[in-house]
Amino acid sequence: MEYKKYQWIAIISGLFTILGFSHLVFNVYYTKKTSHLTFIWLFLVISAQTLLIIYGLLNKSYGIYLPAILLICGLLYILYVKLTYENLTYENLTYEK
């Protein structure tokens, strides 16, 4: 496999992106609040990450497509929570402990 000269920049950028995005996913996980995230935003971000995956695969740049795959997983979870809990109020949620 050919190693890209500046692949490490993409890897560091991907790590920072995942770290920043994980805060949003954990916040949604604990609060189930997604009203501030619109369906348009979700669609645009999922579309952008899908294009990054395609670009990374075509250029054999795992530093681009691996973080995008992880971000899509988080985005799909957020979409699931939005579709499941959007009409519920925070007080109606119960947590299993």
Mean pLDDT by 10 residues, the chain (97 residues): 73 92 95 92 96 92 91 96 79 56
In a domain, 51, yes or no: yes
In a domain, 93, yes or no: no
Whose CA is closest to 21, among 60, 54, 69, 91?
69
**C-alpha dihedral, 26 to 80 to 21 to 69, nearest 10°:** 130
Please give the pLDDT value at position 91.
Answer: 55
The distance between the two most distant Cα atoms of the chain, rounded to a whole number of Å, is 54
In a domain, 67, yes or no: yes
Number of domains forming the structure of the chain: 1
Q: What residue numbers bound the domain in which 62 lies?
A: 43-83
In a domain, 72, yes or no: yes
Please give the pLDDT value at position 95.
Answer: 58
Q: What is the pTM of this model?
A: 0.79
Is the CA virtual torsion 57, 63, 66, 70 positive or negative?
Answer: negative
